[in-house]
Chains A and B, each alone.
Chain A
Amino acid sequence: GAVVSQHPSWVICKSGTSVKIECRSLDFQATTMFWYRQFPKQSLMLMATSNEGSKATYEQGVEKDKFLINHASLTLSTLTVTSAHPEDSSFYICSARDSLGQQETQYFGPGTRLLVL
């Protein structure tokens, strides 16, 4: 089946540094990828929709300059948390939509745990 990978799986960084998270669709092409944030014992909150070759669409309340998204190819999207602060500590999950499969299905990555000290 279709697989979405994320790298790194966890990262610890100092406040003020930037962190890049990669999301790859391993055996399918994804024109659309999604980035979510999940706090402990809470649901997934959509941060932005990443479209290959165009600008990402951010959800209300998500700072586009803080969370930079690049979707340069049909199999890779990156999320960069710029000038990270402790409040950015969270679990970030990417998802890719297989639009060419038999049924359009959204597959999820394993998530990246970010801890900002």
Chain B
Amino acid sequence: AQRVTQPEKLLSVFKGAPVELKCNYSYSGSPELFWYVQYSRQRLQLLLRHISRESIKGFTADLNKGETSFHLKKPFAQEEDSAMYYCAPWGVTGGGNKLTFGTGTQLKVEL
């Protein structure tokens, strides 16, 4: 079965510290990987996608097919990064193409 694992429910770091939000997936085929972010009282929004290989708000994520991981990283956390982060593969599962969301990691950046 397709599965996404975000092992940390809550990650608390100090401002300026490096951040790594872990994501491992178990998926048949070659899914496209995304990170979505949900700031307090806001809708879910796309943060980045692996095929773009871009850096958004200082975040990057490298797809490691060998380890089936797609960890989200930022070298220096900012207070405004505090939010809920979801790793989400897009691919064929259960008969159709869809996003499968991980359980999410709440990032809290403390001063």
Contacts and interface: CB of A to CB of B under 8 A. Distances in A.
Interface string B50-87: 01100000000000000000000000000000000010
Interface of A: 34, 42-46, 49, 57, 59-60, 93, 95, 103, 105-111
29 contacts: A34-B98, A34-B99, A42-B103, A43-B86, A43-B101, A43-B104, A44-B44, A44-B86, A44-B101, A46-B98, A46-B99, A46-B100, A46-B101, A49-B96, A57-B96, A59-B94, A60-B94, A93-B44, A95-B44, A103-B51, A103-B52, A106-B90, A106-B99, A107-B46, A108-B44, A108-B45, A110-B42, A110-B43, A111-B43
A18 B95 CA distance: 29
Q: Is the interface of A mostly helix, strand, loop or mixed?
A: strand
Contacts, number: 42
Question: Size band of the B side of the interface?
Answer: 20 to 34
